[in-house]
Chain A
Amino acid sequence: MNRPFFAKRDLFWAALVFAAVTVVFCLLTRQSGSPLVAEVRVEDRVVAELRLTEAGVFTDPLLPDMVIETDKGRVRVRSSGCPDQVCVHTGWISRSGEAAVCLPNRVSVTVRAEDQDRWIAG
């Protein structure tokens, strides 16, 4: 039994993956003209909606040790007490659909346009 390292057919599979990625990407991100809003969720309940119009800092007793910072058109998790620090490393997010997520704390910060009722189009 001999297995090739790479076969011509695999180009088809690679193209398929690229196509899937493109489709999913288009479905997930839609630009809208209206001002941006950041939704802060704890265990999928929206705890706060922050308008991303000026610099500000947000904390909440429901989010232990987490500091969320807003700026014009962008938001980030500035600091967090979680061991992973993945949420902090995500950095600034500004496009509709983008998210910074803290798994240990069950917190997510997502960006959406104000006139869309959810971050995903359709």
Chain B
Amino acid sequence: MKTKNPAYFVARMALLFALAALLSFLEGMLPALPLPGVKLGLAHIVTMYTLFAFGIREGAILALLRGGLAFFTRGAVAGLLSLTGGVLSALVIFCLLRSTHCSFWLLSVCGALTHNLSQLVVSMLVIGSSVVVYYIPILMLSALVTGTLTAVLLRGTLPALSRISSELERIEYHVPSQREKDKRRDRSSR
């Protein structure tokens, strides 16, 4: 896919943003736990894929777009939270991606952790009080769970997502073809 053409860039961002927005919307339809800040974070699948397949520029723009969407649909506070959580977690995931050889799962969990904790810090600044510190344990555990979920879902949907970018193979993750899967299976059963 030609990467320099601005029209392609806009189209790609629009597609990724629509995907993320749809996932957020679907997630909003699920019954929510009464715990504040505990969300499934399904749209992070798209954020991680964007960072893997494209780069930090696309990832940051996606975070900005999602923050803007939250701002217009759920209010200024929600927009600020989404923005900081999205941008910071994108930065962290991208840095880990480029500098370490850690696993998928760890990338996802670190992203979720920075997302939650940065939102906690922003909440502290917004409300001007440190009482929200009480939520740290719950948020961290939730980040472990949602990070795992995101990683699993991402791996499951990568074959489909990789149609958006043919560069995915070059960059990070090798989506195994059916022949390779059969070969691996035979090798392990021997």
Query: Chain A residues in contact with chain B, CB under 8 A?
Result: 1-7, 9-10, 13-14, 17, 20-22, 24-25, 28-29, 41, 43-44, 83-84, 86-87, 89-91, 97-99, 101, 103-104, 106-108, 110, 119-120
Chain B binding surface, main DSSP class: helix
How many chain B residues touch A (CB < 8 A): the figure is 39
* Contact pattern, B 81-122, Cβ under 8 Å of A = 1, otherwise 0: 000000000000000000001111110010001000000000
Contact A28 B36 (CB under 8 A): no
Contact B103 A6 (CB under 8 A): yes
**Chain A contacts for B22, CB-based, 8 A:** none
In the bound complex, what is the Cα–Cα distance between A90 and B103 (angstroms)? Answer: 35
Contact A17 B144 (CB under 8 A): yes
* Given contacts A5-B155, A44-B127, A104-B77, A13 and B133 within 8 Å (CB-CB): no
**Chain A contacts for B130, CB-based, 8 A:** 44
In the bound complex, what is the Cα–Cα distance between A9 and B100 (angstroms)? Answer: 13
* Given contacts A5-B155, A41-B129, A86-B36, A10 and B134 within 8 Å (CB-CB): no
In the bound complex, what is the Cα–Cα distance between A7 and B155 (angstroms)? Answer: 15
**Chain B contacts for A110, CB-based, 8 A:** 131, 134
Can you name 8 extra interface pairs (CB under 8 A) apart from A10-B105, A29-B134? A7-B102, A7-B103, A41-B131, A84-B75, A87-B36, A104-B75, A106-B126, A119-B134
Measured CB to CB, the closest approach of chain A to B31, in angstroms, equals 11
